[in-house]
Structure 1
């Protein structure tokens, strides 16, 4: 007797399905929407090249919340923060929170940045295109950093701050830290061409 589970049975946090549209073709390979029961891979992707591209985007958001600081290494706490954030996003917008997350990533991923090139002791800043993998990494970092700054020394909990950040970034609002950071990076790259 064999039991087969289809991918349709598995939902993120048991509530939201992964039927999400990714509009940016360059990010399609690097935003993984593979259905998982529990977003906790345990670092199995670590020693494979581009292995993190196969890790669920929700797990990558959870891992980003565990940056050094107050939540360092507390995966269950980060898991509960993201779960509560998704509940808030659904309550405020009525949309699939995974779709809001993907739209926020697409809207606030920088396309250009600056790198330093040194010629004989003189440093030049040159604009370069950002690889899709790095675009996803940067935007996740900026989304979480913006939520952390909004919740620091503030009665607003991190769940609300992260929900506000994701909703603002998904709508392209300039109140979002990630959108402001993207525009700043692209403006600096434009001036150093």
Structure 2
């Protein structure tokens, strides 16, 4: 499935937006136009950079050994890395636009640009750093 299509599918996630693909498509389309206006670069390329920067390289998994639960650090599969990055980007956009006059399109565009340039103001980058920090501690 193409990367933009997967972003659109992630935007449909929460309860009241579930199944409204046209709405999600229009949100992503307007957000990518805003990304192009902000960066003067190809918005798909900026999205790819955002996914590369926002995808965690390792995370923890739980292993029960002798009745005791241990958290063990594991590498993340490539497909899961992309899925997690897209999830973090959409969660960040949703969180930003909630109870805020900014539209979801503006928030999604800001999140993509911030993640593409590795800015720690991005929700996706903060989540990635948090997951990797926990995994590093569990080595």
Q: TM-score range by the shorter chain?
A: over 0.9
Q: CA RMSD in A?
A: 0.7
The secondary structure found in structure 2 opposite 1:138 is helix
Which ranges in structure 2 are unaligned for 5 or more consecutive residues?
none
Q: Which structure would you say has the larger RCO, counting Cα contacts within 8 Å and 6 or more residues apart? A: 2
* Residue in structure 2 matching 1:72, options 8, 18, 21: 18
Question: Distance between the aligned counterparts of 1:184 and 1:69, measured in 2?
Answer: 27
- From 49, 55, 58, the counterpart of 1:109: 55
Shift of 1:189: 0.4
How far is the alpha carbon of 1:120 from its aligned partner?
2.6
Task: Give the Cα separation in 1 of the matches to 2:4 and 2:16.
Answer: 20
Q: What SS does structure 2 have at the residue aligned with 1:105?
A: helix
- 1:121 Cα deviation from its structure 2 partner: 1.9
Report what 1:35 is aligned to: none
Deviation at 1:61, TM superposition (A): 0.3
- How many aligned positions are there? 139
For the pair shown, which has the larger CA radius of gyration, 1 or 2? Answer: 1
TM-score for the superposition, normalised by structure 2: 0.98
- Secondary structure (helix, strand or coil) at the match of 1:70 reads helix
Runs of 4+ in 1 over 4 A off after TM superposition: none
Aligned to 2:130: 184
**Alignment-derived partner of residue 141 in structure 1:** 87
Gapped runs of 5+ residues in structure 1? 1-54
1:94 equivalenced with 2:40 (yes/no)? yes
